[in-house]
Amino acid sequence: MDKNFFNQIRILDGGMGQELLAKGLISKGTLWSASANLDKKFHDLVIDLHLSYINSGADVIVTNTFSARRIRLIQNKVNEHFKYINEQACMLAIEAKSKSKKDILIAGSLPSQRDTYVEDKRETNEIEKDFLDQAIIISPYIDFFYLDVLSSGKELDIASNVAAKLNRPILAGIHLKKNCLLPSGETITEVVKKYKNENWLGLIGACISPEIVEKSIYELSEMNLPFGFKANLWEIDEPGPQQTFNNAKHDEIGTNPNVAFGKRDKYSAELFYKFSQKIIKQGATILGGCCETIPAHIREISKLK
């Protein structure tokens, strides 16, 4: 693909898991959105949501593989379906693109391989194996990998190298706390200087609040890369790992994460537009949404192209 793709304003899609749940997906335990890949009766739900984002102006849709990491499948006793769940996510994205008849790109979501929003402190070879296992399945179907909500430079480096082995470029998506540091305690500048390579298409703040985007945008702008955000609309600024399958109470397993994190019901598409407009003025060219954003938010910010 064109390595300069993100040099002009591009619109990424919005939240997948929360919107699928809102539209009737029934989660199998902590599989969340990956439940829709496993159960054929929800396949059309995934296709329709991808189409909604494409028709709202998204230039890029992201595969529904965020919750298809191996640990989630092991927790929910469906690990034997690992290949199927990841492959189906890609096939559903391709079908949506075909139905749209639009020249959009498909990004393969390659998420943190353990808990979300916290550093993975395992040995390098363990982390690499998990990234590689998922990436090998996704790679044939995508234009680039979106490193989805990574929490340390180590994870960023490992995943970036895995993508390079598969000859796929990456959009680096790093999670940031209120202090604008990664959960590992590293700065944006530290991880970019140490790990950036020619395979990087751009850098974004991934699944962070609009307030954290605004606080971190200057440092992102100094990295000599196309930059921007996939902002969430959780009610809290610093979401943490959901209750794991092992320590959750029985009636908490499968609960929508917005029960724990809250959601901003009054954050309209117009407000998302005004926020995005401010970030563009700082030089951002990559705009999108994450948890609790919906097609209406993407439709509004697509007017900024």
Sign of CA dihedral 145, 146, 149, 153: positive
b/e 31-55 (16+ beta carbons within 10 angstroms → b): bbbbbbbbeeebbebbbebbbbbbe
CATH number of the structural domain 5-304: 3.20.20.330
Per residue in 246-275, pLDDT tens?
A: 444 434 445 667 777 888 888 999 999 999
Q: Give yes or no for a contact between 114 and 75, defined as CB atoms under 8 angstroms apart.
A: no
User: Which of 19, 91, 89 has the alpha carbon at shortest distance from 53?
Assistant: 19
At 133 the pLDDT is 98
- Residue 142 is predicted with a pLDDT of 98
Instruction: Give me the pLDDT at residue 244, please.
Output: 41
Sign of the Cα pseudo-torsion (207, 298, 292, 53, in order):
negative
Q: Is the pTM of this model over 0.85?
A: yes
Domain boundaries, the chain: 5-304
Spatial neighbors of 253 by CB under 8 A, at least 6 apart, are: 29, 30, 243, 245
Q: What confidence score (pLDDT) does residue 250 get?
A: 36
Phi-psi region of 234 (alpha: psi -120 to 50; beta: other; left: phi over 0): beta
The Cα 260–Cα 182 span in angstroms is 21
Residue 20: its pLDDT value, please?
Answer: 94
Residue with tokens 């009636």: 251
What was the pLDDT predicted at 245? Answer: 38
Q: Which residues of the chain have pLDDT under 50?
A: 243-253
Backbone angles phi, psi at 284, to 5 degrees: -65, 140
Q: Over the stretch 66-88, which tens digit does the pLDDT of each residue have? A: 999 999 999 999 999 999 999 99
The position carrying tokens 């994870």 is 155
> What pLDDT was estimated at residue 242?
53
Percentage of the chain with pLDDT > 70? 95
